[in-house]
Amino acid sequence: MGTFVLAIDQGTTGTTALLIDSQSLKIASEASKDYPQIYPKPGWVEHDLNEIWKTVAETVKEVLSKISASPKDIVSIGITNQRETTCAYTKDGTPLHHAIVWQDRRTSEFCAEHRDHFNKKFKPITGLPLDPYFSATKMKWLLENSSAVQAASRENNLCLSTIDTFVLFKLTQGLSFATEPSNASRTQLLSLDSFTWNDELLSFFKIPRTALPKVQDTFSHFGETKGLTFLPDGIPITCLFGDQQSALFGQACLNVGDLKCTYGTGAFLLVNTGETAIQSKQGLLTTAAYGYKGKKVYALEGSSYIAGAAVQWLRDSLKMIVKSSDVESLASQATDEQMEHLLFYPYFSGIGAPYWVPEAKAAILGMTRDTATEQIARACLEGITLAVNDCVKAFIKDLGHINDIKVDGGATANNLLMQSQSNFSKKNILRPQNIETTAYGAALGSMVGNGKIDIQEISKLWKLDIKFQPSSKEYADKKSAQWENTIQKVFL
């Protein structure tokens, strides 16, 4: 049968388990399970940590059963995760509150009040502007508003972390409480220059250091499985990885200027900046890409909070399509002439990079009486790609040049979306044969962490499926100008 590396990809809407053959490094089996989203109030988004843990167990069991593999055939584990989502639990792993999801906006008022002061003093340290997106204000909210969290803090029985640490903690029966730079840099509590928790930031947000995990290299030994019903004891966990940095790694973006865009619930772009933490002048984030053997690698990041979620809105709220993949055939029925003034701004969770307007709302502008579902569907896809293109333009202004854009995530199967991205961004879009690069990156990271492969070998594993090249220049230029003018007038 051979041996396998297990990747656990704990995402915003579900969990995926992936087995890759430890010799060929090809995907052997995959399993996914969705879980419910919880919306207590408008703008609030939560997850049940027990539900998340249940999907981890279920997907691991299923991925093994699909190829009749024994759990004993797993040589190591890599974990990748939705990043800023914040967990509070006790030292025996009992959740104290629902996880507060990265999309959650409940701390908008605090951020608005303190943004100018924070950005001037702390943004150079963290690489991040003050925004509800990041974990620190979520931790602060939990400490101020949850009596269970407050009690655990008083009793020195509190763990505050991102999802990677929670899954690690559960896999090791609480013996390992650790994270790594790609996740820790998203909390807004990490010094980018040293990859350590920053005392001034802990003080500003009133977060007790004792509640936070230790920070270690991305590819390193994090502990071993213990006390699980679905895996034997003693399997080493050798990589933790924030999902977007994991995709960057899985896309073999190992050189300065290499860029990827992942299309999931949102769309996230990262460009490798090497061992230099570049401070953006265009509203992009400076973030850790990974840490390995003491080497610090950085990235610039642009984020559009809503991508696939906009298509889900067409499906679930407007009932325009039965399944998300139907949007391509519907949208392709709309002509350029019909789309002349129609703009879809997918700002259901505010605007992220490069503008940072958390209170912004989504809008469809330019409709007439003959606007039909096919035009709205195409406007939705164009809105996703134009929002992504705002980040692409910011990268070019900051760096001067970027390479072709490598893409991944389920939505990249939509050829119309990819061609639209190429047209608006005026860049070649490279879709690899393996579009599930987030989980694959964690598996490769685990192989690096257990010493089985060298980082430079990863470039040889990347294989092109389709290259999309720019076209429709006149239409794209006109629509881009309309998009930008409307943002300036309506949203800023």
Nearest to 403 by CA among 392, 416, 389: 392
Is the sign of the CA dihedral 324, 328, 333, 336 positive or negative?
Answer: positive
What is the reported pLDDT for 107?
95
CA distance 25 to 324: 30
What is the reported pLDDT for 1?
58
* Cβ-based neighbours of 216, under 8 Å, separated by 6 or more: 178, 179, 180, 222, 291
Please write down the long-range contacts of 143-148, taking CB distance under 8 Å and 24 or more positions apart. Answer: 143/206, 143/207, 146/88, 146/96, 146/97, 148/88, 148/96, 148/97
Nearest to 118 by CA among 245, 51, 205: 205
Nearest to 492 by CA among 399, 356, 365: 356
Across 216-225, average pLDDT: 97
Across 236-247, average pLDDT: 96
pLDDT tens for residues 150-195?
A: 999 999 999 999 999 999 999 999 999 999 999 999 999 999 999 9
CA distances from 181 to 178, 205, 454, 482 (A): 11, 19, 20, 39
Output DSSP code: residue 38: B
CA distances from 79 to 23, 154, 292 (A): 20, 31, 16
pLDDT band at 13 (very low <50, low <70, confident <90, very high): confident
What is the reported pLDDT for 224?
97
CA distance 358 to 123: 17
Is it the case that residue 334 has pLDDT exceeding 90? yes
What are the structural domain ranges in the chain? 4-245
CA distance 239 to 436: 17
| E strand segments, 149-204 | 159-162, 178-179, 190-191, 196-197
What is the reported pLDDT for 296?
96
Q: How would you classify the pairing of strands 236-242 and 219-224?
A: antiparallel
The answer, yes or no, to whether the previous bond of 354 is cis (omega within 30 of 0) is yes
What is the fold, at CATH topology level, of the domain defined by 4-245? Nucleotidyltransferase; domain 5 (3.30.420)
CA distance 147 to 299: 38
Alpha-helical segments (H) within 268-346: 308-316, 326-331
Output DSSP code: residue 457: G
Least confident segment among 251-260, 294-303, 322-331, 354-363: 354-363
